[in-house]
């Protein structure tokens, strides 16, 4: 396991309850103390509009109702160009990866993923903070 990441204040954006539980379990295992949850991009955007200073790291699914992860990424990049943003998705084709990169995603992980893969992505991005 990687070093604890107590300094992270993570917003997890995921509409699937089981996937949300898995991400939270991984984050707690890494030592993350502050985890916020949103069930779609719109809920995440509303939370960030009210309390964005609480968040310094975002893990987000791509396909969600109301506002997709890509749409949320676009919004986040207008106000927080340097905030680590990890996109989690079943969209693993090269064009999707290129699109996410064009919009400023920091890292990309395909579903299904292993706990180790998620830990490695989070730890790699956390060094930016």
Is residue 5 in some structural domain? no
Contacts of 29 (CB under 8 A, 6+ apart): 1, 115, 119
SS3 63: coil
Is residue 119 in some structural domain? yes
- Domain containing 55 — which CATH number? 3.40.50.2300
- Cβ contact 30:36 at 8 Å: no
Is residue 27 in some structural domain? no
Please identify which residue in the block is written with the tokens 């930016």: 128
Is residue 52 in some structural domain? yes
Residue 14: in which H helix or E strand, if any? none
Tell if the pTM clears 0.75, that is, is over it. yes
Is residue 18 in some structural domain? no
User: How many residues are listed for the chain in this entry?
Assistant: 129
Q: Domain of 127?
A: 38-89+99-129
Contacts of 49 (CB under 8 A, 6+ apart): none
Q: 84-122: per-residue pLDDT in tens?
A: 999 999 988 999 989 999 999 999 999 999 999 999 999
Is residue 64 in some structural domain? yes
Q: 40-91: per-residue pLDDT in tens?
A: 999 999 999 998 789 999 999 999 999 999 999 999 999 999 999 999 999 8
Is residue 44 in some structural domain? yes
């Amino acid at each position: 396991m990687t070093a604890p990441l107590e300094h992270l204040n993570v917003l997890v954006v995921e509409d699937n309850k089981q996937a949300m539980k898995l991400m939270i379990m991984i984050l707690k295992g890494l030592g993350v103390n502050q985890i916020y949850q949103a069930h779609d991009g719109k809920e995440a955007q509303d939370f960030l509009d009210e309390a964005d200073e609480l968040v310094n790291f975002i893990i987000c699914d791509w396909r969600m109702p109301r506002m997709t992860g890509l749409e949320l990424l676009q919004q986040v990049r207008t106000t927080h160009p340097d905030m680590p943003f990890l996109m989690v998705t079943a969209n693993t084709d090269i064009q999707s990866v290129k699109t996410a990169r064009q919009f400023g995603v920091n890292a990309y992980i395909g579903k299904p993923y292993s706990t180790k893969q998620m830990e490695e992505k989070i730890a790699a991005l956390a060094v930016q903070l």
